[in-house]
Amino acid sequence: MTNKIKFTKMHGAGNDYIYVDTTKYPIAEPGKKAIEWSKFHTGIGSDGLILIGSSDKADFSMRIFNADGSEAMMCGNGSRCVGKYVYEYGLTDKTEITLDTLSGIKILKLHVEGKTVTAVTVDMGSPLETGEVHWKGKYPFRSTKVSMGNPHLVTFVDDITRINLPEIGPELENYPLFPDRTNVEFAQIVGKDTIRMRVWERGSGITQACGTGACATAVAAFINGLAGRKSNIIMDGGTVLIEWDEASGHILMTGPATKVFDGEIVEEVENGELRVENEY
């Protein structure tokens, strides 16, 4: 017996996820599917799985699973892609959309050219918590914790190219100070309100970009007096603009959303074999 699931691979500044409309294709055990489908050699290859669904509180809902199967509260880059998905696949004709996430309701403003969503601005709400970490000799730096619904640890350094992210990323992600683990960002001020950032994501490792991580970096830069309220965050896969609005206290994130391809997963339910068919 087979089970067919249509999916769309999308990315926001290179942060790539598999998107499934669960109103048409309900997904049982999403954490397990995220692990299986995210694998590069034996699955589709992605940073994780995003489920789009209905909500009684908002226009749509979003759930995000990292490549290791853990569920996160929020995904900045993913929320922009959900905006593009629901508009371009005809699930709505609204250009202002409310999105129900585990981190509360977010408002998406779509930037539309013709029938294409070229960029999305997300009202990410206010940062929930900030704090300093002094490593007391363990590491030669000071870090700033910022919660954007999910946890981030941002460290500013003089030269980001000197950071061995594959080594220090997992070390900090799993440091005992962070019982829920943490996302890890290293950042360098490269110009006025321009910040270069690299990220090690909790549950996914090095990714090309992280939307909530970009917000956390801009917040950390502002509170440490390193940037103003509006910063461009340049990541390995692209740039997002982050603005910390003084009146509302909300963080506004504007950036790209890109479709890569549509595909169909054909699961052989009896023997658990996975076959993926793509349509470019």
Ligand X SMILES: N[C@@H](CCC[C@H](N)C(=O)O)C(=O)O
Question: Does the annotation flag 211 for ligand binding?
Answer: yes
Compute the distance between CA of residue 172 and CA of residue 192 in angstroms, rounded to an integer: 28
| Measured CA angle at 181 (ends 202, 107), to 5 deg | 60
Radius of gyration, alpha carbons of the chain: 18
| Residues in 183-202 that interact with ligand X by CB under 6 A | 183, 201-202
78 or 169: CB nearest ligand X: 78
| Residues in 208-227 that interact with ligand X by CB under 6 A | 210-212
Compute the distance between CA of residue 52 and CA of residue 131 in angstroms, rounded to an integer: 33
- Minimum separation from the CB atom of position 99 to ligand X (A): 13
Structure tokens that stand for 140 in this block: 């030669």
Q: Which residues pair with 265 in a beta bridge?
A: 5, 276
How many residues touch ligand X under the rule CB under 6 A: the total is 18
By the rule CB under 6 A, 150 interacts with ligand X: yes
Question: Does the annotation flag 181 for ligand binding?
Answer: no
161: Cβ contacts below 8 Å, ≥ 6 apart = none
Out of 8, 38, 66, 258, the residue judged to bind ligand X by CB under 6 A: 66
By the rule CB under 6 A, 147 interacts with ligand X: no
The pairing of beta strand 15-21 with beta strand 48-53: parallel
Out of 20, 64, 219, 221, the residue judged to bind ligand X by CB under 6 A: 64
210, 153 contact by CB (below 8 A):
no
Of 69-77, 161-169, 171-179, 227-235, which segment contacts ligand X by CB under 6 A?
Answer: 69-77
Residue ranges for the known binding site for substrate are 15, 66, 76-77, 150, 183, 201-202, 211-212
What residue ranges bind ligand X (CB under 6 A)?
15, 64, 66, 72, 75-78, 150, 183, 201-204, 207, 210-212
